[in-house]
Amino acid sequence: MMKKKKTSDASGFAFAELMVVIAIIGILSAIGIPAFLSRLPDMRLRAAVRNMYADLQRVKFEAVKRNRCMGVAFTVGGGYTAFFDDDCDKAADTGTLPFLTVSGTPGGVDSLPGGVSIASVNITNPFCYNSQGMICGSQTGNITLANDNLTGMVRIRPAGGLQIEMSDE
């Protein structure tokens, strides 16, 4: 009688194979993480510029929707606030809460990211959107955000249009 040969049903990875894969992942992480971290401040600035653009669009659309003026005030080195301005005098109406507030102190829910600040405001500050979504007084200008190596700008057109520009310093 012939004996049957025993076959093994074992499957999987050997410990040595698993250690090689972990070593490869470790080497790739050691190379990739510093590159990612060096780009993080610029990604934060780009996000802050896009958020400011979105906030200004929201204020403009709210002015049209409510058929009333909406003002926006900026603080160089700080944040910005949007407010209701029924008489279009570029001052918050008495007794009303701000529509939107973005703090210049990092860490809050609505705040500029760490390392990003408002570098300059080259438009009448505060300015306002009228009930048609246009800038009161047909002015034009820009708000510049900056970190250590990049600046981002939101340009404001008299008709209320907005445009984002990014540049190296």
Query: How far is the C-alpha of 145 from the C-alpha of 63, rounded, in Å?
Result: 24
Tens of each residue's pLDDT in the chain, 169 residues: 566 666 666 677 788 888 999 999 999 888 888 877 778 888 889 999 999 999 999 999 999 999 999 999 888 888 898 999 888 888 888 877 888 888 877 655 678 888 888 988 888 888 899 999 998 887 889 999 998 889 999 999 888 889 999 887 5
For the entire predicted model, the pTM comes to 0.77
Identity of the residue numbered 109: V
Q: For 67-84, b where at least 16 C-beta lie within 10 A, e where not — what string?
A: ebbbbbbbeeeebbbbbb
Distance CA 89, CA 108 (A): 30
Pick the CATH number of 16-168 from 3.55.40.10, 3.30.390.10, 3.90.1420.10, 3.40.50.150: 3.55.40.10
Q: In the chain, where are the structural domains located?
A: 16-168
Q: CA 134, 139, 142 angle in degrees (round to 5)?
A: 100
Helix (H) or strand (E) holding 73: strand 70-74
